[in-house]
Amino acid sequence: MTGANGSAASVLIVDDSSTFRTAFRSYLLDQSACEVAEAPSGEAAVKMCRELSPKIVFMDLRMPGIGGLEACRQIRAASADTRLVLLSASLRDAPQDLTTSGAARIMTKDELLVPGRIRALVQQLME
Amino acid sequence: MSGAFPGSGALTVVRLARAAGQRPYVLVGLTGFFAGLAAGWLIATSNHLAYSVPYAVLDAVEVWSSVAIGLYYWSNRPTSRLGNLLVAFGFSNAAIGLQGSSNPLISNLGVLAEVPVLILIVWLILVYQRPRLGGSGRWILASWGSLVMALYGPWLLLHPTVMTPTALGACNANCPANPLLIVSAPGTLEPLLSRPVGAWRIGAFILLAVVFLRYFPTLRRSAAERQVMLPVLVIFSIWLLGSTAYGAVQLTDRESQVLFWVLYHGRAIFPFAFLAGLIASEMLTASSLRTVIRLLDSGSRLNEEATLADALSDPDIKLAFWIPASDQFVDTDGAHVGPPTANSGRVMTEFRRGGQLIGGIISDAAISQHPELLEAAARVVSIAVDKRRLEGDLKTARENLSNSRAESAAATETQRRRIERDLHDSLQQELLAVDMRVQLARNLTQDVALRDRLTGISEDLALARQNMRDIARGLQPANVLAQGLTPPLAEAAQRAPIPVVFRASGVGRYPADVEAAIYFCCLEALQNAEKHGGQDTHASIDIIGSDDALSFTVRDGGRGFDQTRAQGQGLRNMFERMNGIGGWLTIESRAGQGTTISGGIPLRKDRPRG
């Protein structure tokens, strides 16, 4: 876990690709002022959410282990306050039972790169 | 015989290779010829026979015709006893020629030769078209033999002169004395023996009744039996009817004499009746064989049982296939077949090939007497056996091929999914991360030129990700899995950089491998049109679904290509994909005349639809 200032991170990035996590972390910090932590798997994310209670979780949909969908369900079951964003390589991969995941929304990773989109999203979810 | 149906007497074993028995045709023929000649010469030169010349001619003709027709039977009905009996009939008639001898004892032997002649007449009738004489046949023959002996025995012992009771065989004044005479009692015996009306009429009447009871019901069984039996039965029945009527009707002496001449010497026509029967049988055989050959050559799907029923004029004929594993015969539907019951008029004939029992037929008993028909039937059964085996092999091969294709398709699909996942999980992430860094870098600089360059790099990266997604989509068309063929192909047509008309008719949902293969082939064909069609190219995609098949056609009006040189990977991929699902693919193209790529897959009813 990487928490800014040792306090509870406000944003948690969950992805099995360290390259993506690192790049997205930098990108996120550039786009909005927030504290960012990273988790490499769904299981780690569930554990870190219990410890850090992040405000927003960016969760990759497809990961080894329990996967993003199940991780979202478990996090939602533990905390109703955490806002969950599912990230997918393609919307075609979006599961039919998305509503049961408790995710606030699902978006493609490409969408993260639309200028201004990530800043507006973080701002909206932090409110 | 055979162990297939132990205890059943109705079985006959016939091998495909016809048993060729060597018989002394020439020796018997020459002997018969000279025997007839000698008999005729003896009678013609006799000094005590009243009608020596006509009697000699009649007897010689009877000898020659019987032996010749007997030999013909030997040749054409090698398993029938009729040939032997006819030859014996001929030589018995030759022995009658001894009546012409002036030696009393030899002349008596000539008269005695009438006994085997009369017995053989009935024997011939009894075994005609019958595989065996049977118990009742033996009884009839024994009774008839006793009757004939009863007629001739007292004569030989009690009459001063022995002469044949025939008109032509009558003696003149030189009739030789009877050397076997025990007691001369001409006054008592003469009325009976000179005109043996009573005994003859009774015996003939009984035989007539037996023949009717024994044979006429069988005429209803099949056309084959009728056609072959009629010539013999009609002639024999007329002869017997006349014989029975003789003496029962008041005739003048002259009428009586003429009728007796005709009836008694009419027996000379018997061999020709059997000849007529054999010719009828040959004609039936030829007709049946022609029918078999016509049906075999017709090219239509052969129904062997119907073919045989038609060819052999036996609508109830049944084919039986020998199943060694279960040690039983089965019919065309696979149900157990048992032997026909006794007295049903039907018999089972087994066929062997290379010594191995392969099957048989259950047919009218008359058919079993025709070796050519049985041989034709054996060929048809042999074809049926081979066909059943080949159909079984083909079915197994189809199932193996289908399983192999399914396994191959499943393995390919698994591989595709793995590659797609790898692309998403690794390359896609990498490209996205690089793009993020590029954008971060762009945000950090105020240099306009550098920002423009970084923006260009970011756009290139976005394009690279898009291309990668398209490739991944081609490998694993998730949209096709979700929506079927029509919407994704319509979208592809709309997205294409050239004008594309898309038409779909009757397209439903199909197995995933079928939809994926056709979708990929349509995209590949469309990309070919885009890449190689040239300027102002236009294209069309037609996809048609029916109950029997799902097919597609992609046409373009582009430059076309030389098919003999076209060895592109794209075309090979299309062939492999269609082949993998058991479909077909055709490519028609000529330089300057556009390209048409079409393909499809037959839809079996048992193939699950998606």
First-residue to last-residue Cα distance in chain A: 24
**B381 phi/psi in degrees, rounded to 5:** -65, -40
- Chain B nearest-CA distance from A3, in A, is 21
| Alpha carbons B208 and B333: distance in angstroms, whole number | 45
Burial class (CB in 10 A: 0-12, 13-18, 19+), B396: exposed
pLDDT mean over B425-440 = 85
pLDDT-based confidence at residue B357 (cuts at 50, 70, 90):
confident
Task: Report whether pLDDT(B349) > 70.
Answer: yes
Helix (H, G, I), strand (E, B) or coil at B494: helix
Burial B496-527 (b: 16+ CB within 10 A, else e): bebebebebeebeebbebbbbbbbbbbbbbbe
Looking at residues B142-170, what average pLDDT do you find?
72
> In which band, very low, low, confident or very high, does the pLDDT at B338 lie, cut at 50, 70 and 90?
confident
Higher pLDDT, B139 or B542: B542
| Two tokens, residue B221 | 């069984």
Q: Which residue is closest to B477 within chain A, CA to CA?
A: A92
Residue A51 has pLDDT above 60, yes or no: yes
- As given in the structure block, the two tokens for residue B150 are 């009863």
Nearest-neighbour CA in chain B from A50: distance (Å): 27
Q: What is the mean pLDDT of residues B299-314?
A: 72
Q: Which residues of B282-305 are buried (b: 16+ CB within 10 A; e: fewer)?
A: eebbebbbebbeebbeeeeeeebb
| CA B225 to each of CA B230, B239, B280, B364, B601: distance values in angstroms, whole numbers, following the listed order | 8, 21, 10, 8, 53
| pLDDT-derived band at B607, boundaries 50, 70, 90 | very low
CATH architecture of A9-126: 3-Layer(aba) Sandwich (3.40)
Q: Given this model, what pLDDT does residue B4 score?
A: 34
Q: B387 in helix, strand or coil?
A: helix
Q: Is the pLDDT of residue B60 over 90?
A: yes
What tens digit of pLDDT does each residue of B84-102 get?
999 999 999 999 999 888 8
Chain A residues near residue B421 by CB distance under 8 angstroms: 62
- List chain A domain ranges: 9-126
Compute the average pLDDT of residues B382-389.
78
Instruction: Tell me which chain A residues have a C-beta less than 8 angstroms from the C-beta of B429.
Output: 15, 17, 19-20, 109
pLDDT of residue A37: 93
- Residue from B424, B432, B480 whose CB has the most chain A CBs within 10 Å, to mutate: B432
Question: How much is the pLDDT for B3?
Answer: 33
User: Which of A23, A26, A62 is facing B425, going by the closest CB pair?
Assistant: A62
- Angstrom distance (rounded) from CA B533 to CA B594: 8
- A3-12, B164-173, B175-184: least confident range: A3-12
Q: Are B307 and B347 in contact (CB under 8 A)?
A: no
> How many Å lie between the alpha carbon of A102 and the closest alpha carbon of chain B?
24
Structure tokens at B475: 């490998």
pLDDT, tens digit (0-9, with 9 covering 90-100), for B105-138: 888 888 888 889 888 888 888 888 776 677 777 8
Task: Please state, as a whole number, how many other Cβ atoms lie within 10 Å of the Cβ of residue B235.
Answer: 19
Per-residue pLDDT tens digits for B537-561: 889 999 999 888 899 999 988 777 6
| Minimum distance, in Å, between the CA of residue A92 and any CA atom of chain B | 7
Q: Can you read off the two tokens belonging to residue B328?
A: 């039983």
Which pLDDT band holds residue B444 (cuts at 50, 70, 90)? confident
Taking the C-alpha atoms of residue A34 and residue A26, their distance in angstroms, rounded to an integer, is 11
Q: Chains A, B: CB contacts under 8 A, how many?
A: 58
Portion of chain B with pLDDT greater than 70, in percent: 78
Give the C-alpha separation, B308 to B185, whole Å.
65
Sort out which chain B residues have CB atoms less than 8 A from A22's CB and list them: 433
Highest mean pLDDT among A15-29, B144-158, B235-249, B390-404: A15-29
What does the alpha-carbon distance between residue B137 and residue B143 come to, in Å, rounded to a whole number? Answer: 10
Helix axes B197-215, B223-245, angle to 10 degrees: 160
Mean pLDDT of chain B: 77
Q: Which pLDDT band, with edges at 50, 70 and 90, does B359 fall under? A: confident
**Confidence band, pLDDT 50/70/90 cuts, at residue B608:** very low
* pLDDT tens digit sequence for A69-83: 889 989 988 888 888
Length of chain B (residues): 610
B250 — pLDDT class (breaks 50, 70, 90) = low
B350 contacts chain A (CB < 8 A)? no
Which of A16, A17, A63 to probe by mutation at the B interface, max B CB count within 10 Å?
A17
Flag whether residue B433 sits within 8 Å of chain A, measured between CB atoms: yes
Cβ distance A20 to B478 less than 8 Å, yes or no, reads no
**ipTM above threshold 0.95:** no
